[in-house]
Amino acid sequence: MPLSFDLPPAAIPGQSVDAIDTPSLILDLAPFTRNVARMQDAADRAGVKLRPHAKAHKCPEIALAQIARGAVGICCQKVSEAVPFVAAGVTDIHISNEIASPTKAALLAELARHARLSVCVDDASQIDTLAAATEAAGTQLDVFIEIDVGQGRCGVADAPAAIALAERIAAHPRLSLRGLQAYHGGIQHLRDWAARRDAAAQAAERTGAVLAKLAVAGVQCEVVTGGGSGSVEFDVGSGVYTEIQPGSYVFMDADYGSNAYPGALRFEHSLFIATTVMSVAAGDRVILDAGLKSMAVDSGLPWIWADGAASGALEYVAANDEHGIVKPRQAGNLAALPALGSRVLLVPGHCDPTLNLYDALVAVRGGVVEAVWPVAARGLSR
Amino acid sequence: MPLSFDLPPAAIPGQSVDAIDTPSLILDLAPFTRNVARMQDAADRAGVKLRPHAKAHKCPEIALAQIARGAVGICCQKVSEAVPFVAAGVTDIHISNEIASPTKAALLAELARHARLSVCVDDASQIDTLAAATEAAGTQLDVFIEIDVGQGRCGVADAPAAIALAERIAAHPRLSLRGLQAYHGGIQHLRDWAARRDAAAQAAERTGAVLAKLAVAGVQCEVVTGGGSGSVEFDVGSGVYTEIQPGSYVFMDADYGSNAYPGALRFEHSLFIATTVMSVAAGDRVILDAGLKSMAVDSGLPWIWADGAASGALEYVAANDEHGIVKPRQAGNLAALPALGSRVLLVPGHCDPTLNLYDALVAVRGGVVEAVWPVAARGLSR
């Protein structure tokens, strides 16, 4: 007999969060909404624009909520990632990354029929590839020169290199230099607040020095974009950035949650993985039904979430492909172990690659499923 | 203007592998086909059945190729994972894992209308949940008692516990005890061959001891299933396992590739990630367009593949979300760095969670795309 049914959905609106199948990715709408507002208010107070990074959530409903609250558009990290956001009606997207292939440039130039699009460059040949693609499509692109402010990844090293690229961009009528991108990923997770402040100040200072030399050379930078969820409280007041591009603040994963935030700008955990205890046979530990295929562990193992805080009694100690091993923090405290079949909530270590594992995000309010949002850009890394 | 086009496919049959967009997951069909045959021949020679683990590939086309070559069926690790395989016509599936929720039991009992299905237990309440679900659906399930042979994860500890579960299963007319599962994941990646051999022998000895006690108690185990790609050369000759369930051998990731295999049973690398150099601005390194969202790094960073072997000149040193940083192994050997826009092939560190990131697997032969296979069970961890 041929198979006559599809897999049931992750959740159904109106359902109790305790009734949905596991593992499932849960967005708690109350703290999520507060996070969206808090970042927008911080940007507004400082007079900088907020362009949240959609690589963190890959979810058009979240992008539209951010824009409704005041964001000027979104960032994407890959050209393909932008497709579902353009389809959902987002009209202003910055690809905060370089591309070096005619295939990707052609897709970007095609998307530019439907939205205002910008992209980074750090090499003359990337500019020529973009120029050829926009010429073929008959469209326009904004271009940002990326400068390396200490990350050691992409970006040119100094002002002369940036000026040379600016001249190259100016030679192509379908490309417009919009400004500079200066992002330092490496400082986002410095745990100590003062160390993060000083590192962000250094990055801003390097950016400011390049800007000054560009101005002398007559290169106008209308927009300076950068900043992440760990540095943004310093970036907004730097006087250098006109636009910030944090992403993870909507969720606050365990990695960002491990930073110290003595200042006023802190965000709440809104993203959880609902799991079920599937085996208790070992006696001194329990086994959850969520492992490497349900969470990214590159930035550490997840926290167990209990009563609105990271559990002091239980620890997720190892992730296998589809199993999570949970032990009491205090050896022998077996009374703390949850029963077979019971639910355990996790805060993932790193939100961006965790979202990239799920096709749906279950939005809940007060413990009740309100909506199931497609993670429409999941897997779109081309 | 509304968006009027979908994202182009990852590849088109007939295309050169060098022309496809990146990052993409590539299966080289020649070594893949040899791997499938080599494992089947090893099982056949030893007189044990081969039931490959589909959690490694999540791809119905691969499962059907394994079955066509002699496999008796497949393993899945989750109930939802089995759905696309049942839909593709696989008629014998073992869920090599416990389930502890009525929702999952109901789906399993429903799937049992379409295929022969079995599942593991290590607790009496799991048996009762399965019994209730099969009663409601009017279907039958085979059941395996899992024993812990040193992994410290799921499974009962000893023969008395297994006998108690066997009696419980016997009380339910819609459940049939099929045998034992004894899998030790922890020994699969012991690098030293003799250490792996001794650990596999110990696990087999523990399994044999439980089997002997079960036989005395009158509990028949028609099937004893277990073994992975790292231990299978020992498991097939153990005299204990009637069925082996390796998965990764079809691909051979970098983690399994780091084991020593002095014996005859070794497998070839068939799985690659095609990437593009997207930035060379830093001068002393290059940046690839594939990072954490294009590969799992839990078992180590990928190898750079060049001329049929792991590169001795280049090293993938760090994975960011969408960037991979590549440096020369010998500082200053800048001549070894690939040019902007050029292609770099990677062997992923861990195949199972890497497949779980991609919607499609591009099957190539002799450098030409032959087919694009859906990774139909991607993300199905429920």
pLDDT beyond 50 at B289 = yes
- Cβ–Cβ pairs < 8 A, chains A and B: 218
Tens-digit pLDDT profile for residues B37-76 = 999 999 999 999 999 999 999 999 999 999 999 999 999 9
CA neighbor of A209 nearest in space, from A168, A157, A245, A169: A157
B134 contacts B141 by C-beta, under 8 angstroms: yes
Q: Is the predicted ipTM greater than 0.90, yes or no?
A: yes
Q: Do B154 and A276 touch (CB under 8 A)?
A: no
pLDDT tens by residue, B179-209: 999 999 889 999 999 999 999 999 999 999 9
Residue A325 has pLDDT above 90, yes or no: yes
HEC sequence for chain B: CCCCCCCCCCCCCCCEHHHCCCCEEEEEHHHHHHHHHHHHHHHHHHCCEECCECCCCCCHHHHHHHHHCCCCCEEECCHHHHHHHHHCCCCEEEECCCCCCHHHHHHHHHHCCCCEEEEEECCHHHHHHHHHHHHHHCCCEEEEEEECCCCCCCCECCHHHHHHHHHHHHCCCCEEEEEEECCCHHHCCCCCHHHHHHHHHHHHHHHHHHHHHHHHCCCCCCEEEECCCCCHHHHCCCCCCCEECCCHHHCCCHHHHCCCCCCCCCCCCCEEEEEEEEECCCCCCEEECCCCCCCCCCCCCCEEEECCEECCCEEEEEECCCCEEEEECCCCCHHHCCCCCCEEEEECCCHHHHHCCCCEEEEEECCEEEEEEECCCCCCCC
Q: Kindly report the backbone phi and psi dihedral angles of residue A373, in degrees, each rounded to the nearest multiple of 5, phi listed first.
A: -100, 125
pLDDT of residue A4 exceeding 70, the answer is no
pLDDT of residue A141: 98
Contact B269, B249 (CB under 8 A): no
Which among B99, B352, B357 has CB closest to A278? B99
Give pLDDT tens digits for B295-331.
Answer: 999 999 999 999 999 999 999 999 999 999 999 999 9
Q: Using one digit for the tens of pLDDT, what is the confidence trace for A361-377? A: 999 999 999 999 999 99
Instruction: For residues A261-283, give the mean pLDDT.
Output: 93
Q: What is the mean pLDDT of residues A164-186?
A: 97
- Contact at 8 Å (CB) between A85 and A76? yes
Residue in A with minimal Cα distance to B149: A282
Nearest C-alpha in A relative to B24: A382
From CA A248, how far away is CA B167, in angstroms rounded?
51
Asked if residues A363 and A373 have their Cβ atoms less than 8 Å apart, the reply is yes
User: What's chain B's average pLDDT?
Assistant: 96
What is the C-alpha to C-alpha distance for residues B177 and A295, in angstroms, rounded to an integer?
A: 34
| Structure confidence by residue, pLDDT tens digits, B87-129 | 999 999 999 999 999 999 999 999 999 999 999 999 999 999 9
Q: Check CB contact under 8 Å for A122 and B279.
A: yes
Owner of token pair 């409903």: A61
Mean pLDDT of A44-57: 98
What does the alpha-carbon distance between residue B112 and residue B274 come to, in Å, rounded to a whole number?
A: 39
Confidence of residue A1 (pLDDT cuts 50, 70, 90): very low
Longest CA–CA separation in chain B, Å: 76
Contacts of A362 (CB under 8 A, 6+ apart): A10, A11, A17, A20, A24, A25, A26, A27, A274, A369, A372, A373
Average pLDDT on A174-200 reads: 94
Q: How far apart are CA B32 and CA B39, in angstroms?
A: 11
**CA–CA separation, A66 and A248 (whole Å):** 13
Q: Note whether A231 and A196 are within 8 A (CB).
A: yes
Calculate what percentage of chain B has a pLDDT beyond 70: 99
Q: Evaluate whether A109 touches A139 at the Cβ level (below 8 Å).
A: yes
d(CA B30, CA B347): 16
What pLDDT is recorded for position B94?
98
Is the per-residue pLDDT at A119 higher than 80? yes
Provide the 8-state DSSP code for A289: S
Range B133-141 average pLDDT? 98
Q: What would the 3-class secondary structure string for A95-125 be?
A: EEEECCCHHHHHHHHHHCCCCEEEEEECCHH
pLDDT 10s digits, A203-234: 999 999 999 999 999 999 999 999 999 999 99
Chain B environment of A7 (Cβ under 8 Å): 80, 83, 107, 380, 382
User: Token pair for residue A380?
Assistant: 């779109």
CB-based contact A297 B293, cutoff 8 Å:
no
Tell whether the torsion through CA atoms of B94, B98, B104 and B106 is positive or negative: positive
Q: Is B233 exposed, middle or buried (0-12, 13-18, 19+ CB in 10 A)?
A: buried
Q: What is the pLDDT of residue B263?
A: 76
Whose CA is closest to B227, among B205, B247, B202, B209?
B247
Question: Can you tell me whether residue A148 is helix, strand or coil?
Answer: coil
B276 closest CB neighbour out of A22, A100, A353? A100
Q: Mind spelling out the 3-state secondary structure of B292-331?
A: CCCCCCCCCCCEEEECCEECCCEEEEEECCCCEEEEECCC
* CATH class of the structural domain B29-253: alpha beta
Pairwise CA distance, residues A81 & A83, whole Å: 6
Nearest to B23 among A146, A161, A382 (CB): A382
Which H/E stretch holds residue A89? none
Chain A hits for B8, Cβ within 8 Å: 107
CA distance B246 to B230: 8
Q: How many CB atoms lie within 10 A of CB B150?
A: 15
CA B56 – CA B229 distance, rounded (Å)? 11
How close is the nearest chain A Cα to the Cα of B182, in Å? 14
Same fold, A17-26+267-374 and A29-251: no
All residues of chain B having their beta carbon less than 8 Å from the beta carbon of residue A22 are 101, 382
**Does B22 contact A279 at a Cβ distance shorter than 8 Å?**
no
Q: Hey, what are B289's tokens? A: 């367009």
CATH architecture of A29-251: Alpha-Beta Barrel (3.20)
Q: Does the pLDDT at position B277 exceed 60? A: yes
CB contact under 8 A, A154 and B185: no
Q: What is the largest CA-CA distance in chain A?
A: 76
Q: What is the pLDDT of residues A232-250, one digit of tens each?
A: 999 999 999 999 999 999 9
Give tens-digit pLDDT for A83-117.
999 999 999 999 999 999 999 999 999 999 999 99
Q: Which amino acid is at A96?
A: S
What's the rounded Cα separation, in Å, for the pair B27 and B35? 12
Question: Is domain A17-26+267-374 classified as CATH 2.40.37.20?
Answer: yes
Task: Please enumerate in sequence order all residues whose Cβ is within 8 A of that of A350, keeping only pairs 6 or more positions apart, or say none.
Answer: A253, A254, A255, A296, A297, A298, A299, A300, B292
| pLDDT, mean over chain A | 96
pLDDT-derived band at B141 (thresholds 50, 70, 90) equals very high
Q: What are phi and psi of A94, to 5 degrees?
A: -105, 120
- Per DSSP, helices labelled H in A138-181 are 159-170
From the list A90, A106, A28, A97, the residue with the least C-alpha distance to A58 is: A90
- Residue B15 has a pLDDT of 96
- Partner-chain residue, chosen from A24, A83, A293, that has the shortest CB–CB distance to B7: A83
Give the confidence band of B16 by pLDDT, cuts at 50, 70, 90: very high
Structure confidence at residue B3 (pLDDT): 55
- Inspect the interface and report whether the beta carbons of A381 and B8 lie closer than 8 Å: no
Per-domain residue ranges of chain B: 17-26+267-374, 29-253
Average pLDDT over residues A124-153: 97
* pLDDT over 80 (residue B4): no
Contacts of A49 (CB under 8 A, 6+ apart): A43, A71, A72, A223, A242, A243, A244
pLDDT(A3) > 70:
no
Confidence of residue B1 (pLDDT cuts 50, 70, 90): very low
Place of tokens 């839909």: B87
For a pLDDT cut of 90, what percent of chain B falls above it? 95
Whether B235 contacts B227, CB under 8 Å? yes
CA–CA dist A203, A239 (Å, integer): 12
Query: Rounded to whole angstroms, how far apart are CA atoms A219 and A213?
Result: 9
The pLDDT of residue B7 is above 90: no
Which amino acid does the sequence have at B215?
A
